């Protein structure tokens, strides 16, 4: 017993005396270099693995959701939800029961109420991790892509999303955006962000990627992926380039179905691979797999997440990636259609994956991996290979020295005036002017004083942003216009359209916020009816920039690429002439009546 105690004390040098007395010190952000080849793993990490039980090793592979704003004292409803879904009541119990290597934050799980609460939750989670028999800090992650996907809202800084940055065409702005995002995440104790999106969105009908991609040009996407990885790395936050081998040309959403990519291997090499090659060259800390079928890469038609030819054959051997590979969420239907929930984690590990993200049933998944090791289907050496990659990433992030956000970091870093001003400046460079007949824009407070603002009220369900009609009307009012606002929604009724038409009478211009307009959308009827009044109509696409192809009678049209406050406010400044439109389309807009023909090519963008 005495010898074992001495050995364990020596081992705990890997945790720097329980991580500086359990989160007591403030450390600067740590630069995160690229993946360390397996032969270079420090001996102290190998010793740490050697002291772990099999259950502890397997636990390190899982990244799990947990309900609640506190690690030890969640609300009763959250504790009940944890008990029902995971079999534990708190994050601390999750860690002690399953020895998980990571936790993912969601707004719907009530993890992200405000920055101070998030930082306190992160501290509580790390304290619980360091109180275990084998103390190992956790990777705490979230999806804070910005733009269309953000789990943390105001007062944190909300920045333009990927396609907006693609319109700005500035690697420097993309890197600065990631640096700010990373600094604020680190201040809240979040050390791994599932970004940037490395998909090349060549399919306008893509229901799940769209504006989450930087664009349709593989080389341009590669450059911006590189810039963002460097920005996050400078802030000490690990990235997860996603969704390998490329989710940009699908018509199905992998949350609800299993999409198929029909690219040939040559097309994949030309279209999909460049951003992932660039991510690897830039030192991507992790790469996330996609729940998609790519027959050209694996004729078995297994999802890429479960495909040895894709994860090991292409990503590890062909592209030479030796860093952490993480699955997309394992509760998504795309990965659950072909195999049961007990087989999915085992097959993912056999494919070459390291981290298993958010399985629907953690106990079932954990027990399935343990059974696979005990039966010989998986070797313990294979488990240790992934554990070492994960521990090496934690080590490079500085988590063994101090895994907690420094005291006071939230007030010093999150939502500062400097960050907010930078977000506004970057957003102005993204707004794209597609149409400007008769030089209508910019609007003049003396010529077009009275405005009607109508359209979609696509408020974020996570509360990260306001409804765009409200934000746009408020911004234009602050810029000196007299504004009437009317939310007509994404599917306006005939009565609502009539109300908008009546409201347009006597106005100098109408601004319509559109959201993913389709051929069958009532938003088309709304815009046509407003144009028929003779009042100039300005449309602002607040998600995909393809809306203009479906609209007629428009006098001016802009693309904001997101309904977030920062992008809508920037568009308002462009409409009012307080900023020049500088964005250029990062994707082509094709004709609605003949998709083979391009209406507005990549690079199109007017200015004044």
| Catalytic residue IDs | 255, 328
Environment class of residue 105 by beta-carbon count within 10 Å: exposed (0-12), middle (13-18) or buried (19+)?
A: buried
- Asked whether the beta carbons of 210 and 264 are under 8 A apart, the reply is no
List Cβ neighbours of 3 (8 Å cut-off, separation of 6 or more). Answer: none
- Asked whether the beta carbons of 431 and 47 are under 8 A apart, the reply is no
Element (H, E) at 478: helix 468-478
For 24-140, where are the alpha helices, taking DSSP H only? 43-51, 54-60, 76-85, 91-98, 115-130
- Rounded to whole angstroms, the Cα distance separating 152 from 301 reads 36
- Asked whether the beta carbons of 535 and 461 are under 8 A apart, the reply is no
Across the strands, what pairs with 485? 453
Instruction: Please confirm whether the linkage preceding 243 is cis (ω < 30° from 0).
Output: yes
What value, to the nearest 5°, has the Cα angle with vertex 168 and ends 271 and 153? 100
- Rounded to whole angstroms, the Cα distance separating 547 from 488 reads 16
Element (H, E) at 36: none
Instruction: Pick the closest to residue 150 from 514, 463, 417, 429 (CA basis).
Output: 463
- Rounded to whole angstroms, the Cα distance separating 362 from 369 reads 11
DSSP 196: -
Task: For the chain, give the number of residues.
Answer: 608
Question: Residue-wise over 553-571: b if at least 16 C-beta within 10 A, else e?
Answer: ebbbbbbbbbbbbbbbbbb
- Asked whether the beta carbons of 120 and 114 are under 8 A apart, the reply is no
- Asked whether the beta carbons of 346 and 372 are under 8 A apart, the reply is yes
CA distances (Å), 41 to each of 47, 256, 510, in order? 11, 39, 62
């Amino acid at each position: 017993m005495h010898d074992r105690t001495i050995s364990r004390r020596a081992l705990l040098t890997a945790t720097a005396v329980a991580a500086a007395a359990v989160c007591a010190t403030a450390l600067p952000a740590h630069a995160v270099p690229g993946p360390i080849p397996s032969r270079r793993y420090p001996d102290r990490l190998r010793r740490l693995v050697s002291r772990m039980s099999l259950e502890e090793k397997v636990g390190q592979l899982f990244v799990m959701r947990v309900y609640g704003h506190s690690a030890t004292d969640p609300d009763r409803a959250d504790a009940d939800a944890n008990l029902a879904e995971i079999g534990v009541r708190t994050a601390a119990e999750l860690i002690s029961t399953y020895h998980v290597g990571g936790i993912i934050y969601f707004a719907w799980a009530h993890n992200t109420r405000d920055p101070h609460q998030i930082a306190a939750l992160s501290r509580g989670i790390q304290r619980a991790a360091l109180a275990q028999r084998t103390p190992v800090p956790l990777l705490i992650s979230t999806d804070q892509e910005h733009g269309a996907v953000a789990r943390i809202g105001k007062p944190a800084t909300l920045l333009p999303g990927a396609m907006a940055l693609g319109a700005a065409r500035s690697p420097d702005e993309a890197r600065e955006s990631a640096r700010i995002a990373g600094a604020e995440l680190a201040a809240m104790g979040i050390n791994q962000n599932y970004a940037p999106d490395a998909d090349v969105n060549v399919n306008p009908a893509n229901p799940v990627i769209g504006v989450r991609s930087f664009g349709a040009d593989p080389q341009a996407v590669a450059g911006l992926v590189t810039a963002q990885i460097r920005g996050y790395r400078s802030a000490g936050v690990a990235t997860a380039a996603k969704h390998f081998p490329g989710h940009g040309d699908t018509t199905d959403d992998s949350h609800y179905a299993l999409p198929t990519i029909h690219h040939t291997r040559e097309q994949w090499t030309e279209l999909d691979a460049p951003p992932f090659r660039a991510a690897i060259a830039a030192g991507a800390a992790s790469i996330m797999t996609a729940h998609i079928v790519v027959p050209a890469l694996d004729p078995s038609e297994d999802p890429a997440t479960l495909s040895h030819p894709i994860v090991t054959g292409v990503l590890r051997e062909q592209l030479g990636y030796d860093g952490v590979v993480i699955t997309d969420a394992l509760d998504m239907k795309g990965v659950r259609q072909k195999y049961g929930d007990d087989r999915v984690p085992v097959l993912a590990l056999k494919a070459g994956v390291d981290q298993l993200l958010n399985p629907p049933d953690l106990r079932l998944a954990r027990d399935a991996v343990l059974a696979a090791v005990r039966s010989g289907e998986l070797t313990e050496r294979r488990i240790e290979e992934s554990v070492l990659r994960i521990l090496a990433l934690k080590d490079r992030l500085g988590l063994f020295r101090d895994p907690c956000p420094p005291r006071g970091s939230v007030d010093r870093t999150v939502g500062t005036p400097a960050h907010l001003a930078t977000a506004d400046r970057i957003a102005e460079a993204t707004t794209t002017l597609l149409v400007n007949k008769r030089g209508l824009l910019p609007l003049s407070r003396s010529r077009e004083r009275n405005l009607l603002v109508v359209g979609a009220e696509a408020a974020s369900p996570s509360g990260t942003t306001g409804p765009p009609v409200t934000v746009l009307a408020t911004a234009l009012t602050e810029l000196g216009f007299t504004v009437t606002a009317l939310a007509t929604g994404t599917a306006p009724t005939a009565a609502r359209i009539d109300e908008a038409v009546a409201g347009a009478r006597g106005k100098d211009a109408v601004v319509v916020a559109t959201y993913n307009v389709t051929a069958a959308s009532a938003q088309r009827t709304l815009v046509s009816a407003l144009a028929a009044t003779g009042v100039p109509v300005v449309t602002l696409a607040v998600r995909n920039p393809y809306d203009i192809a479906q609209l007629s009678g428009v006098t001016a049209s802009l693309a904001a690429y997101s309904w977030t406050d920062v992008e809508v406010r920037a568009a308002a400044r462009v409409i009012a002439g307080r900023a020049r439109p500088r964005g250029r389309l990062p994707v082509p807009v094709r004709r609605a009546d003949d998709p083979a023909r391009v209406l507005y090519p990549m690079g199109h963008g007017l200015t004044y």
